[in-house]
Structure formats: C-alpha cells, structure tokens
Amino acid sequence: MLYSYKHSFSGFSAKLNSTQATALAKMEGVISVFRSKTLQLHTTRSWDFVGLTLDNNKVTPLQLAFGDDIVVGMFDTGIWPESESFWEEPRMKPIPSTWRGECVKGDRFDPKTNCNRKLIGARYYLKGFEEENGPLSMSGNPEYQSPRDFLGHGTHTASTAVGSIVKNASFFGLGLGTARGGAPRARLAVYKICWANEEFNSVCSEIDILAAFDDALHDGVHIISASFGPRPPMLPLFETSAGIGSFHAMQLGITVAFSAGNEGPDPSLVTNVAPWSISVAASSVDRMFRTQILVDNSLSIMGESFLPTEIKGKLTDPSMYFEHGVCNSDNYMNESKSAVGKVVVCFSTDGPTLIDQAVAAVKTANASGLIFVEPMTRQTADVEIVPTVYVNFEQGTQIKNYLFESPSLPRVRIIPTKTIIGKSPAPTVADFSSRGPSSLTPDILKPDVTAPGVSILAAWPHDTSPTLSPSDERRVRWNFQSGTSMSCPHVSGVAALIKSAHPRWSPSAIRSALITTAYTRDTTSDSILAGGSMKVADPFDIGAGHINPLKALDPGLVYEMKTSDYILFLCNIGYTQENIHKMVLPCPGVDTSCPKVPKSNTNINYPSITVSNLKSTMTIKRTVRNVGHKKNTIYFASIVKPDGVEVFIWPRALIFSWFNEENSYYVTLKPLKKSQGRYDFGEIVWLDGFHKVRSPLVVCVNTTDDSSDSIARTSSSI
C-alpha cells in the first residue's frame, strides 16, 4: 500500500500484479482499476495585455480589490519560498478560518520561516516517484525532499497565478516591469507532485497526483491549477488521476484549470478534456524581443532572442563542423577544429533538426552563438545555454546566400535584445498549443479558452540556472518560459478573482463566464491567427477565444452545469447507474438513473455547442441564468451560421425578471449540404445592449454515406 485516499474520495494505490488487479476490478463497489502512469509538465506584460492594469488612479485596481479570501492550490514542482512573489502583500488579512491545510517540513524548508499569510500551505508527495524511479536520495539529482522547488516550473506557475506585486522584475534587463499574479492578494497552497529525474526531466506520478487531490480538497482550496497531463492517446476519464480528482473537486465547488498540452499544431491532440474542468490553450502577447544581426555591416536581419550582451564572431555554415551540415551532436566531426568565435547558422529542415538538438550540437563544437532558422509560424524564442537568435526562412535564406557568396567567413555582430511592446498583432495561438477536436469527448469543445503562454516572465528559484543545464552558471530571480503550463495559471488567477467577487458561483458558472466573454480579435481588430499555419484560428485552436477578465467578472448570463448534466454525460460514456450512484454526491431530488432512450452529449448544458456528427435535423436545448445587475432585462439572439447548416433559435428573445432568472432556448440545426468529416464554425450571441454572451457553434455535417467506413461515429462513444 502506497496511499489511502480517504479525505475527499475513496480509493488507494498499491503494488499489485495483473491477476490481483483483474480480481479487484471485478469486486462489487469498485469503479475503476488502472495502472499509474507518468505525466508531463506541459508575468510582467501578460496581465496588462489581458486588461488587468495597476496604473489606474481613479479606482482600486481590480487585482487588488479581490482575492484575499481565496486559496489557490498549485499542483506542480514545488515552490521557492524566498522569492519576492511569495512575500505577504501589505495589509494582508489573517489566514481564512476555513483553511485546514499545513506546511510540511523537509529538506531546506522550514514552515516557521518559509510559510506566511501568503504561502499558507506546502506539501510534497514522493511515494509514487520513488516507486517508479528509486529513492530520491540515491538518484544523484539535486532535488529537495520537501516542498522546495528545484526545476523552477512550480515557482514560475505559482507566481503567474497569485504572485505578489514586485517592481523592476526582469531577465537581465529584458521584460522589465512590475511582476504579479492574476490574483496577487490570493493565498497560495503548494502541492509538489512532480520531481526531477537524473536527466533533469520532470516526472509526475499519478499515484502522487491523486494523493494531492485528496489532501487539497480536504484542506479547503477554492481553485486548483494543474499544468500537467498525459500524451495522447487518451484513456477513459475515470482511468486517469486528473479525471477522477477534478470530478470530485467539481462536486465540492472547486474549479480546476488544466493545461491543454503542448502537442500542436496537429489536430485532436488536446488533453485534459473532462467537461467538469477548464482546458487552456496558449497564445502570445503584444511583446517582442527583437535582436538585430549585422553581417559585415551590410546585411541587417531582425530576429528574436533573449540576448542581454553583444556577440561578435565569424558567420559559419554547419557543414564545417557537422556531417551533411546537420546540426546534431551525433554528426559532430571530432577531428575538426573547435568552433570558438564562430556563429553557426542551422536550418530546422536539415535533418530535420529540433532547437534542442541544434543548441546541444553548437555547444559541443564550442561555438559562440547560434542562428536558428525555422518557419515563422513556429517561432518561439527560449532561454538557451548558447546565445541563440531565431529567424524565419526568408531571413535565414538571405543569411545563407550571403555566406555562400562571401570569399571568406563574414564577420557577424549580434546586438543585445530590445523589448518592444505594442508593435505586433496579438494574440496569436502558439504553434505548440494542442488542438481539438477532443479524441475522447468529441461533442465537448476543448480547449475551452486561450491565455498568454508565450515568453512569460515569472519567478524562478535562485539556485537553479535558467536552462537547468549543469554547465549553465547563471542564476536569476526571474525567467522566461513558454507552454500551456504558463497559460493555465493565467486562467487560474482570473478564476480566483471571479470566485472572490462571486463566492457562490459554481465551477461551471466560472467556466461559463470565461468562455462566453472570450474574444476572437487581435490588437489590430483582425481575426486571431493560428500559429503553426497561416490560417485564421478556429475553435479547435482557441476554444471560445482569448480570456477577458474584466468582462468575465460581469458576464450577464451563465450556463450552469447541474448534477443531471454530469449524470447524462456519465451514462453516455458507459457507466452504470450503480457506479454513478457511488460517484455522485447525494443531492435531494436528483435521479442517478440513465435515460431509457440515450441522449446525445450535445444536450449537456455546456457554454459552447459542438455537434460532431450531424446527419439530419436535430434540436439542442440550452439553459442560461441571469447574473447581471439588472434583473429585469431582455436578451436578443444573433446567429452566425456554420457553412452549409441552417440554424433556427426559439425563442429569439429571453425575458428575465426578479421572478424569472432562468430561461431555456432551443437550437435546431439542419444540414443543407453533402459533406463528410468537415467541421464548420459559427456562433450564437445573446445581447441586452450591454452584455455580449457568445457561444461557439461547431458542427460536422456527415450526410454522405461511406460504406467502406467500418468505424461508426456516435456522439456518445469515447
């Protein structure tokens, strides 16, 4: 026995052989038995970009007005408690009396000095990691057997979500500004469930994750931020720690935000797709880190980098040091001379070559710098052990042609990076951000929303290098990171503000507010673009759109997910009435039986509407609740029809009053074209003159018979 989960749900983790596991699965009262897996971990400008500014002299800034009474639980790699991001905010109230958590003592972590009114909880979970990787003390890595963070990921995400206000934060002068989390006055509880292995990769055991959920739900957190997930293919929801833990959190009124994954830009690789949690995509902000490359003072190229100092050297083709000109350490020609004083130009298409491979290769050759050439749609600058500038293929081709035409190696000078704000259209979906449709629940749109996740500056452990490389001697207090791991805590921070402003709102109401107020236009009022391509982003890239915290605090209408919605969903994914009765908390008047005639998951009261298999006319029901300040109001419908689909809404007006705060409407979809497997997009918007309540409408028309297709697609199968 490793853990007994008893606080918030019933279960345990133990070492079993396959025969024992099979026998256990057949026992009465057992809902699921599954093998524990290892999961992956998937700022200064970003909060200004989303509208939460601190320079408003007329009113108390929104980030300071709410959050004091909210506890955000971070499931990650731990915390660096000495960071200024986790100091107490001025005039912070005592710890909420409802808090039942604790700070656990461990290696270089003393609760008496490291915890305060800001950092009010810190636990760590090691049994699953050690069962799969051996004792931490024997692994030879510098990890701390405590809540203290070595990898930096947890410190970064925690400061993004709820970090205190810190002025003059920067990475060697880059990104200089006032750092803070989305809810800087909110309380922080840390649950360390991910650890560094010998290669400094993160390892997150599902055994430990479930233990963290069990404790967090008992401790009294209000929001959980979880920037981790499995790689596809997806397993059934109740055979994953994330699916089980977030379901029980939802039942207790706790909102859970997950990262959508970093498997983009290919479709159907989005993870964390349960309808009771929030799945967050990643996109850019309007900040660039422009770095000028001067070749012989005659060719000037502007790239992206995090380069605080000037680099000088000779421009060099990789074929001088690597076989076939492929920038890979395995291709390094050992008999060649060192590349000291050289700046190597590497193309991502040669090999092909990933950025990590190119960096490792030029470091092996002792080069002074790297110019990495990749498509403009995939460019995301990162902090590297070797000074690296990212350029696109047009620029890279100019550099390569100049190099080939030069009689000798040209001199190259790379000017220190400059931070440029407000000159680039944003947001743009990050190329790495995982896309829908969901391979597990195709009638539930995932991701739900997108948020800043590219080049996010946030707190970092003071004893950890910014690249995690043992040879990197730099030490920083702030570091740049990119990923849906960074976008997830942005949503968690906003969710904390919403929960503080509306304490009685359920997780589904908070999710609805985020979804229906999201926007789909960039800073130039044009459509948001999808990184990894040249196309306009669609709901599979960004969900409903980019989060808008100010609007989400006053969404007008919300789509509540009631227990009956989750029961319908569980019925559709194959759970029996007996199992559902065990999973769903008792609620007066709630029928846990499955309908005799199966209903589609499209009828679940989700804020977005997705129909993955429209063969003939169908009608969908949605119910909204008025949460606006005006109780007597009328909302009128506006429709953007998906191509080839007729859309009817009844009624076209929703009348609310003090005595009628809920209304239902019906959407009838009629296919007008012959099509197979093609998704089209529209939207349904309810307007009252002040609020704009927008729901994405995603429809796949399947009206062309294909007898050769042996796989029957149904909206209820997973």
The string of DSSP letters for 475-516 reads --SEEEE-SHHHHHHHHHHHHHHHHHHSTT--HHHHHHHHHH
Q: Across residues 289-304, what is the average pLDDT?
A: 94
Instruction: Please check whether residue 656 is in contact with residue 663, taking contact to mean a CB–CB distance below 8 angstroms.
Output: yes
**DSSP-assigned letters across all residues of 458-472:** EE--TTS-TT--TT-
CA gap 606, 512 in Å, rounded: 8
pLDDT tens-digit readout, 213-222: 999 999 999 9
Separation of alpha carbons 552 and 541, rounded Å: 20
As annotated, the residues of the chain forming the CATH 3.40.50.200 domain(s) are 41-280+429-551
Helices (H), 389-483: 393-405
Q: Tell me the average pLDDT across 424-452.
A: 95
**Residues near 285 by beta carbon (within 8 Å), at least 6 away in sequence:** 45, 46, 49, 426, 427, 452, 454, 455
pLDDT at 715 over 60: no
Q: CATH assignment of 557-561+605-702?
A: 2.60.40.2310
Residue 297 has a pLDDT of 87
Q: Max alpha carbon distance in the chain (Å)? A: 85
| Distance (Å, whole) CA 634 – CA 553 | 20
CATH code 1.10.10.10 for 41-280+429-551:
no
Instruction: Give the residue-averaged pLDDT of 400-424.
Output: 94
Q: What are phi and psi of 5, to 5 degrees?
A: -90, 110
Residues carrying an active site annotation: 76, 153, 485
- Name the band, by pLDDT with cuts 50, 70 and 90, for residue 716: very low
**Residue 425: cis peptide before it, omega within 30 degrees of 0:** no
61-100 pLDDT, tens per residue?
Answer: 776 777 789 999 999 999 999 999 999 988 899 999 999 9
Q: How far apart are CA 554 and CA 690, in angstroms?
A: 10
Percent of the chain past pLDDT 90, that is, above it, reads 73
**Residue 648 burial (CB < 10 Å; 0-12/13-18/19+)?**
middle
The answer to whether the beta carbons of residues 476 and 156 sit under 8 Å apart is no
pLDDT 10s digits, 375-390: 887 778 889 999 999 9
> What is the pLDDT, as a whole number, of residue 140?
67
User: Given a cut of 60, is residue 712 above it in pLDDT?
Assistant: no
290 dihedral zone (left: phi>0; alpha: psi -120 to 50; beta):
beta
**Average pLDDT score over residue span 327-348:** 88
Assigned CATH topology for domain 287-421:
Glucose Oxidase; domain 1 (3.50.30)
What percent of the chain has pLDDT above 70? 95
Distance CA 197, CA 187 (A): 30
Task: List where CATH 2.60.40.2310 sits in the chain.
Answer: 557-561+605-702
Res 713 pLDDT > 60: no
Is residue 45 within 8 A of residue 175, CB to CB? The reply is yes
Q: CATH 3.50.30.30 in the chain: give the residue spans.
A: 287-421
What are the helix and strand counts (H, E) for the chain? 16, 36
Residue with the two structure tokens 């500004």 = 177
Closest CA relative to residue 258, chosen from 288, 220, 283, 228 = 228
Tell me which DSSP letter residue 376 carries.
G
| Model pLDDT, residue 189 | 98
Tens digits of residue pLDDT in 511-530: 999 999 999 999 999 999 99
Question: How many CA atoms, within 13 angstroms, populate the side-chain half-sphere of residue 533?
Answer: 14
Confidence band of 139 (pLDDT split at 50, 70, 90)? low
Higher pLDDT, 347 or 600: 347
CB atoms within 10 A of CB 136: 18
pLDDT value of residue 706 = 55
Q: Taking 90 as the threshold, does the pLDDT of residue 565 lie above it?
A: no
pLDDT value for 60: 54
